[in-house]
Structure 1
Amino acid sequence: MTCNPIPERQDWFICSRKPIVCPLCKTREVRPSMFGMPTAEAAHSGKWHIAGCQPDMPIHRTWGCRKCDAAFFKDTDRNIAALGGLVPWQWPPEERTEKEKARLAMKWFNEWKKNQISF
């Protein structure tokens, strides 16, 4: 597992998978992060890092430490691009399967055919 610090923030890390131990406070309190108002059951279960109502910018964290509030982001092309300061429309394109490409092409063709004027 790799867990590299992000230079702009001392408590932000980009990781290949969820860390077991937080590198800052050395506790085993890293949990999936939840954004927004949780239910009472979720808040008291101890299974979630409650991030509150203010999202991390430019993207929301994947995991968080319940003790020291360190942020951990999954090491994906999209997260790396967002954390690198790129605007959302410059994120790497998502790969489509051949089936998805064929379905989209058929949808676009049907819309085009519907909008053609017949004489």
Structure 2
Amino acid sequence: KLWIVGEGSERQKLTDLVIQLNLSNKITFLGVRSDVANIYNAADLYVLSSAWEGFGLVVAEAMASERVVVVTDCGGVKEVVGECGYLVPAQNSLALKNAITNALDISNAEAENMGRLARKRIV
């Protein structure tokens, strides 16, 4: 199940695409949330697909929650993630897809270890 959290200019286009592809049972748009810690804790993976980002606070929050992160190389995100996640070029959907696939294919033990290292880097 894919949760998309937040809002943006592409929301309606994405919603229409999900309906067109009959993926409503697999993709849920959660909108803007104030309980992001609960969402991080319930997630297996955090993905930041931004073309531009400032510091990357949301990435640091996901890492502090011991999540595996897949992020695009934009703004200060590279410095936040270091070697503790999957970093792909911004605006490269194929690289993003491959990194997500790789992250989902690692064992639970590898994911837990990566999450611990991510938290240690942030906290």
Higher helix fraction (1 or 2) = 2
TM-score, length basis structure 2? 0.24
TM-score, length basis structure 1? 0.25
